[in-house]
Amino acid sequence: MKILAVGRNYLEHIKELGNQTPDEPVIFSKPETAVLKNNEPFYYPGFSQDIHHELEIVLKISKTGKNIEEKFAHKYYEEIGLGIDFTARDIQARLKAKGLPWDLAKGFNDSAPVSVFLPKENYDLKNLNFQLEINGEVRQTGNTSLMIYPFDYLVSFVSRYFTLKTGDLIFTGTPAGVGPVHPGDRLTGSLEGQVLLDFEVK
């Protein structure tokens, strides 16, 4: 199983980090060992002083495909969920300044908490509301209508480069409001008002 993740897919998030709007999706990956399930606690790693939360809608691939046409992309995922792309921002900044890959900042152990996955037919995928609270305070709110690249385009795009297989996850980008987490924080992520993520930072 692999995780493919999309950077810079919401304009307000691009602005808050001072990045340029991309001409095509920005893709990076996380290894399987990044996955954190069942709302288990996230243990703050000792190699970073600045871990940031990035809440995202996650697609779960349901069958193998490559070079998928956008009009058929919806046939390759049946379930959606929530995920957090934890990012070691201090490490990322250091690596980016040197023009180096971001793997250490994005792919470390447990850096991809994911919720349960729910049938996509229960939702309007083009108008999905999702939200992250930390200690009861709203930090991120997003709606998929504001995505630069929608779900089906992303599935088609990444399948040109990577064969998608059953169980693969696609993190589809984070809205504005990213920021640091600290030991003792409780993170709660909801999709259309339903809490799917609820775990502690230790």
**Amino acid 57: pLDDT:** 98
Report the alpha-carbon distance of residue 112 to residue 38 in Å, rounded.
Answer: 12
**Amino acid 23: pLDDT:** 84
Return left, alpha or beta for 159; rule: phi > 0 is left, psi -120 to 50 is alpha, else beta: alpha
- List the pLDDT tens digit at each of the 202 positions of the chain: 999 999 888 877 667 767 677 789 999 999 999 999 999 999 999 999 999 999 999 999 999 999 999 999 999 999 999 999 999 999 999 999 999 999 999 999 999 999 999 999 999 999 999 999 999 999 999 999 999 999 999 999 999 999 999 999 999 999 989 999 999 999 999 999 999 999 999 9
**Amino acid 154: pLDDT:** 97
Report the alpha-carbon distance of residue 69 to residue 48 in Å, rounded.
Answer: 40
Report the alpha-carbon distance of residue 163 to residue 127 in Å, rounded.
Answer: 28
Report the alpha-carbon distance of residue 173 to residue 12 in Å, rounded.
Answer: 12
Instruction: Check if the beta carbon of residue 120 is closer than 8 Å to that of residue 79.
Output: yes
Report the alpha-carbon distance of residue 87 to residue 196 in Å, rounded.
Answer: 20
Instruction: Check if the beta carbon of residue 116 is closer than 8 Å to that of residue 197.
Output: no
Instruction: Check if the beta carbon of residue 185 is closer than 8 Å to that of residue 200.
Output: yes
**Amino acid 14: pLDDT:** 64
**Amino acid 13: pLDDT:** 64
**Amino acid 92: pLDDT:** 96
Q: What HEC string does the chain produce?
A: CCEEEEECCEHHHHHHCCCCCCCCCEEEEECHHHEECCCCCECCCCCCCCEEECEEEEEEECCCECCCCHHHHHHHEEEEEEEECCEEHHHHHHHHHCCCCCHHHHCCCCCEEECCCEEHHHCCCCCCEEEEEECCEEEEEEEHHHECCCHHHHHHHHHCCCCECCCCEEECCCCCCCEECCCCCEEEEEECCEEEEEEEEC
